[in-house]
Amino acid sequence: MSKRKYDEIENSKTNDIDKNTKIIKVLKNNISLMSEDIALYLRKVRENQKEIEMIQNLLYEICEHNWERDYTIMSEHSEYICKKCNCYR
C-alpha cells in the first residue's frame, strides 16, 4: 500500500474500527493485485522458455556443428559442445 493511501486512512475522522477495516481492505486488494502480477510474469516466463527451446532446436538442426569435448563439465560421460552454436550433444 502506498504511504499516501495509508496516511489518508490514518488521518480520516473515523473511529479505529473503521480505519482498521479500510486498512485491511486496501491490504487485501494489494495482495490480490500483486498475485495477478506474479501470475502474468510466470506466464511470460513459461512462454519465453518455450520459445528459447524452439530456437535452440532450430539452431541445432541448421548448424554445421564443430564438436569439441567440453572439459568444464564433470560427469561420467564425455560432453561435447559445438564451437559454432554452443549446443551440447
> Does residue 36 lie in a domain region?
yes
**Which residue range(s) make up the domain with 51?**
3-64
> Does residue 33 lie in a domain region?
yes
Interval 6-51: pLDDT, tens: 666 666 655 777 888 999 999 999 999 999 999 999 999 999 999 9
> Does residue 20 lie in a domain region?
yes
pTM of the full structure: 0.62
What is the full DSSP assignment across 28-55?
HHHHHHHHHHHHHHHHHHHHHHHHHHHH
Rounded to an integer, what distance in angstroms lies between the CA atom of residue 73 and that of residue 31? 43
> Does residue 75 lie in a domain region?
no
The predicted pLDDT at position 6 comes to: 64
Rounded to an integer, what distance in angstroms lies between the CA atom of residue 88 and that of residue 5? 53
Number of domains in the chain: 1
> Does residue 37 lie in a domain region?
yes
* pLDDT-based confidence at residue 3 (cuts at 50, 70, 90): low
> Does residue 82 lie in a domain region?
no
**Is 84 in a helix, a strand, or coil?**
coil
Rounded to an integer, what distance in angstroms lies between the CA atom of residue 63 and that of residue 82? 9
The predicted pLDDT at position 75 comes to: 78
